[in-house]
Each structure stands twice: as structure tokens, then as C-alpha cells.
Amino acid sequence: MSNHTQNSSGISQSTTTGQQTNEGVNRAAGTESLPARSGASRTDGSDLGEVAMGTPPSNTVPSNCNSEYFKPLRWGVDSLYLSYAGEIFPEVAGKLQRLKEVAQSPEAYLQVTAQLELDGHIFRVNDKGAPLFPFILEDNAFRLQVSRSSGRVPLAYVKVSSEFLSHVLPDVAEESLRRVVALLGVIAEPANVSRIDLFVDFVSSENMEGWDRSAWVTRARSTTAYSVDNKFSGWSIGLRGNISARLYDKTLEIETHSKKTYLHDLWKSSGWDGVSPVWRLEFELKREVLTELGMSKLSEVLRNLNGLWSYATTEWLRLCSPNPDDHTRSRWPVHPLWGYLSSVDWETSGGVLSKRFNYARLPSDDKMFSMAFSMIVNYMAREGIHDFYDGSQAFEAAMYDYHNSKSLFIGQSFDDYVAERVAIKAREFNSILNPKPEKDQDAEINRAAEAYRKASGG
């Protein structure tokens, strides 16, 4: 049995390792009942289905999930974009401007100090901003875009990383984020959701290429099939719209693109055999859809995940079994796979959470040691050395001679030469807070922010 924690929105999630149950698949495949439509209209001109706030989907047939055909592994929030209304502290605005200018310096020894430590995070301050947000801070958990002025522009627009959301629940992630933003300025109201991505990871014996585009009954205008090296990789529906969906081979995507191998252990804890392709159904819902459905705050969205999933999988998109004798596509029966996917209960555990997470953006052992091994082997082959120990020792000595000569040529000692390059990588990885020319600047910012809050009664 897995232990569970429950957040304030009533969404529970396992916090210890254990097998993922099928308790969240609480409706029989192929039995669908569409929620009633409201008179609201979408920004793309189509009607919005009514979402029952805080209630599960309308189908409540007890689970008869066939694990040989369909096995859910994990479900939850993959990406989360939040914004905070408020006003930046003047001292922080000045500090961020100076750090941005430092990051733009042509001198590497100055660039390495473009960092800001906040609530245990070592943020890299970027040399460029974004429209309306001149300052960008990032580490492995958050990417913050920070504004300079108050008014209609939020104080901060933030992407919460999917890896952090595999470690903590969304409301816990937001609590951590709020502590960071509170050190930048006065927060005027609870977090607004600009975008949320909901996903289900599963294995199935179904052929995901076994239907054509007509089987997707949707309000979206575009449906596209994809392949990688002539291997079918998945479907996308309504890309770049206010709501979109993807059904794709997540194992292939990890191998060829994202390298999010930490998901492998989470899947295995839910019964993945380590070989079968893991598919992901993912919906991206933007602010326009959420506000039209009466949800803008994170707390509102988290209370209504079942309603959002029901709307996405019954009103906006369905996978059907085409009936050539019936030209009314809305009457086509729901595909058995879609019956399982649409039946996920978001009030149940979505799987185990990762036990470890590092705010630093560190390269993997596989990447570092594979590169190092390849270089040593190349050197051994070039020099005719067969013993690895002898080869690694010879490589280290030759590497030292090369870089020592290079450091002397540019007027640096070897130790300073190494320290500068470590500092450059430390800023890139968010792993070390490099020494700053001005003493205790970050502590001064924190004290100034606290004084400002007290003076304003916040």
C-alpha cells in the first residue's frame, strides 16, 4: 500500500514508492456521456462545454480496467505557468538591472557573478529579457520573468519545471515559488494560471497508428500524425490553439529529445516492465480557456481537474471507432482506449513522486563520463596506448601541459584559469554562488525587501 498526502484542493498523490493502482480508471471503456453544453463560446468560435465545478466526470461505471490492454502508470500536472500581480521592490529592480548589465559584459570573469540567491535557490540572471519583462532568472525548478513596473503587467510570470512537478504536488510547488517571488516584490493576489498541462502516462497493446484522422472527433482545426526515423511517434490535435492535445510515444521522446530519464524509475514503481513503449496523452490548456470556464486562480483550477479532464476528453476531443454507415460523426462509438483514458479520476493518486530533486541544472553522469571516456580512448588510440590506467594518466598530464601553456599565454596562473572556467559552469548549472565584487549584496536586498513590507503593512 502506498501512503498518500492530500492537498487543500482535495487532490491526493502518493508520496512513497509502491505499485500504481487502477483506482483512477473508474469507468468502463467505451461508455461515454457528454456533459451539457452552456451558452459560452470559445475564442476560436466553438462552443464551450459546461464544466461541473469540483465534480468528477459524468460516467461512474465501476472499474473493469483490463491491464493487458491498458495500464495507467502516472497522471498529473506536467507544466504549469503562473503569474503574480504586484509591485517590484525598488532595491530589487536596481539590483536586477545591475546584474543584467554584468551578464552582458564581454568579460567572462564578470559574467559569472550575474547570479541571485533567493530562498535557497541560486538563480542565473540572464543577459536578455522578454517583452514586458526585462529580467529573467532561472534554475532547475523555476524560470521567472520579472517586470520593472507595476500596473497591468504582472510582477512575475513563471514556468514551473515538469521535473519539479514530478517531485512535489502543484500546490506545494506554488508555495515554494511564492516565497521566492515575495523576495522580489509585494504580491497583490493569489497566483493566476496562464497555462496548465495535464497528462496520463500508460502502456497499451493498442496500435496507436491503427486509425486515421477521421477517428478524432474534435473542435480543433488541425490533426497531424508524426514519425521519427520512419517510426510512428504520435498525434497532435489543435496545436497552437488555446487548447491542444498530444498522444505520443513518451519513451521515444525521452530517448531522442528531452532526456527526462528520471521518469523511468517512476514508471517502474507503477509496474512498467522497462521495455514496453509508454504513451502519453497530454492536454495543454491556456488562460483563455480557463477563464472562460470560470477558473483563473491556481486553487480554483486544482479543485476542478476532473471537470477540466472531462471537458477535454468528452466535449473538445474524442477518439471514436468510425461507422461508415453513419455520416453523423457525433454518434460514432467511443474507441475502447479513449474510454479508459477519459475515465481517469483526478481525485485519486496519480502515482509516486520522485524522492530526489536538485535546484541546480546538472549534467548527467552519462553525459559527462561518456564524453570523458571518449576523449581518453581517442587519446590512447592516437598515442598507441592499450592500458586504460596508463592512458588516463598520460591524458591528464598532456591536458595539463596544454592548458597551462594556454593560461600563461593569456597572462593567468593555471589555478585562476581553472577557477574562472569552474565559475562559468557553476553559473550555467546553478550549482555554486560565485563571489561577488560587492559584499553581501543579496543579503542587503532581502533586508531591504523585508523593511519595505513592514513599512507598507504587508
In a domain, 349, yes or no: no
**357 domain-assigned:** no
pLDDT digits (tens, 9 = 90+) for 35-48: 332 333 343 434 44
116 Cβ partners below 8 Å, 6+ apart?
Answer: 95, 96, 99, 122, 123, 125, 137, 442, 445
pLDDT (0 to 100) of residue 4: 35
Same domain, 201 and 170: no
| Chain Cα centroid distance, residue 60 | 31
Q: How does 38-51 read in b/e, with b if 16+ C-beta sit within 10 Å? A: eeeebeeeeebbbb
Residue 333 confidence class, pLDDT cut points 50, 70, 90: very high
User: What per-residue confidence (pLDDT) applies to 109?
Assistant: 85
Distance, first Cα to last Cα, the chain: 44
Task: List phi, psi (to 5°) of 21.
Answer: -90, 175
Beta-carbon count within 10 A of 324 CB: 6
Please spell the DSSP secondary structure of 200-217, one letter per residue: EEEEESS-TTSS-GGGEE
Q: How far apart are CA 155 and CA 147, in angstroms?
A: 5
Domain region containing 385: 365-455
Residue that is written with C-alpha cell 500508460 in the block = 202
Establish if 198 belongs to a structural domain. Answer: yes
Same domain? For 433 and 298 the reply is no
Same domain? 141 vs 184: yes
| 45-54, 297-306, 355-364, 418-427: segment of lowest average pLDDT | 45-54
Give me the phi and psi of 446, to 5 degrees please: -60, -40
The better pLDDT of the pair 123, 4 is held by: 123
- Indicate whether 379 pLDDT > 60: yes
What tens digit of pLDDT does each residue of 203-255 get? Answer: 999 999 999 999 999 999 999 999 999 999 999 999 999 999 999 999 999 99
- Among 24-33, 225-234, 279-288, 385-394, the range scoring the smallest mean pLDDT is 24-33
Task: Considering only residues 87 and 109, tell me which one the structure prediction assigns the higher pLDDT.
Answer: 87
Q: Are residues 267 and 397 in the same domain?
A: no
CB crowding 172-208: b at 16 or more within 10 Å, else e = bbbebbbebbbbbbbbeeebbbbbbbbbbbbbbebeb
Q: Are residues 311 and 201 in the same domain?
A: yes
How many residues would you count in the chain? 458
Domain count, the chain: 3
Under the banding of pLDDT at 50, 70 and 90, the label for residue 447 is low
Q: Is the pLDDT of residue 298 over 70?
A: yes
Does residue 359 form part of some domain? Answer: no
pLDDT at 86 over 50: yes
Are 55 and 203 in the same domain?
yes
Whether the predicted pLDDT of 189 surpasses 60: yes
Out of 292, 325, 341, a domain closes at 341
If one compares 264 and 330, the residue with the highest pLDDT of the two is 264
pLDDT at 327: 86
Output the pLDDT for position 451.
Answer: 56
Confidence of residue 30 (pLDDT cuts 50, 70, 90): very low
Angle in degrees, 0-180, between the axes of helices 90-103 and 441-455, rounded to the nearest 10: 150
Query: What is the C-alpha separation between 113 and 436, in angstroms, rounded?
Result: 6
Q: Which of 307, 341, 375 is the last residue of a domain?
A: 341
| Percent share of the chain, pLDDT over 90 | 75
Same domain membership, residue 317 and residue 212 = yes
Residues 6+ apart with CB under 8 A from 429: 360, 361, 362, 363
Whether residues 269 and 215 fall in one domain? yes
Q: Are residues 78 and 221 in the same domain?
A: yes
| pTM of the predicted model over 0.75 | yes
pLDDT at position 326? 87
Task: Name which of 363, 431, 452, 438 is nearest 117 in CA terms.
Answer: 431
Mark whether 47 and 120 lie in a shared domain: no
Task: Check whether residue 325 and residue 237 sit in a common domain.
Answer: yes
Identify the residue with better confidence: 50 or 134.
Answer: 134
Do the domain assignments include residue 101? yes
Which of 279, 308, 341 corresponds to the end of one domain?
A: 341
- Provide the CA 52 distance to its chain's centre, in angstroms: 27
**Is residue 116 in some structural domain?**
yes
Looking at the structure, tell me whether residues 385 and 438 fall in a common domain.
yes
Nearest alpha carbon to residue 74 among 265, 260, 205: 265
Decide if 154 is inside a domain. yes
The answer to whether residue 293 sits within a structural domain is yes
Average pLDDT rounded to a whole number, residues 334-344: 97
